[in-house]
Amino acid sequence: DTGVSQDPRHKITKRGQNVTFRCDPISEHNRLYWYRQTLGQGPEFLTYFQNEAQLEKSRLLSDRFSAERPKGSFSTLEIQRTEQGDSAMYLCASSLGGLEGNTIYFGEGSWLTVV
Amino acid sequence: AQSVTQPDIHITVSEGASLELRCNYSYGATPYLFWYVQSPGQGLQLLLKYFSGDTLVQGIKGFEAEFKRSQSSFNLRKPSVHWSDAAEYFCAVRSNDYKLSFGAGTTVTVRA
């Protein structure tokens, strides 16, 4: 079990550029989540997938954000036309379904700084 | 909708002293509760969880938490803190659809 892996860990980008983050969940975890965390706050839910299906999207996820999980394994989170307000840590998490799915495991996060 | 309140933004404790972090939740059904710890610039590590059964749960790193339904609380405790316990601690409640709602966190500083 190698844990949830995220890449890149840090990204600095200019306002207006597009960025993409990748998440590799724990193997055999069929649920995958994205959260966003700003300084001094707890993580906030963005979206989640069961296998390749995106089952819920938060209102925080504007139309500049898109997440995919094409084969039910890794996931990408893309932010288009970045704004300074997008600066945050983007956390990926995964879990099993069923009762064991009650425990959600988080990755190390991807820090985004928009300048 | 579920919510979590962590009343203490920052706590300073001496090394070797005991620590208690407060967490109050709001949730209509039986809550599934969690405590996570986050070191600076890192992701979240699960300390412990409560689903059902014994209301005193043991976690990693010597932490424990007690679920009190009458008080809607899930406070985290450690009898003797180590300098390595300095971090930010988050309480969370899970909704029926597996989504976690987090409190704003409590920052713990450990002084020598």
Measure the CA–CA gap between B94 and B32, rounded to whole angstroms: 5
Q: Considering only CA atoms, which of A107, A99, A100 is closest in space to residue A43?
A: A107
Measure the CA–CA gap between B5 and B18, rounded to whole angstroms: 21
> Any chain A CB within 8 A of the CB of B41?
yes
Number of A to B CB contacts under 8 A, please give it: 58
pLDDT one-digit tens code per residue, A95-110: 987 765 578 899 999 9
Position A99 scores a pLDDT of 61
Tell me if B45 sits within 8 A of B37, measured CB to CB: yes
Q: Considering only CA atoms, which of B92, B103, B89 is closest in space to residue B61?
A: B89
Do the Cβ atoms of B98 and A103 come within 8 Å? no
pLDDT one-digit tens code per residue, B59-102: 999 999 999 999 999 999 999 999 999 999 999 998 767 788 99
Residue type present at position B25: Y
Measure the CA–CA gap between B77 and B87, rounded to whole angstroms: 14
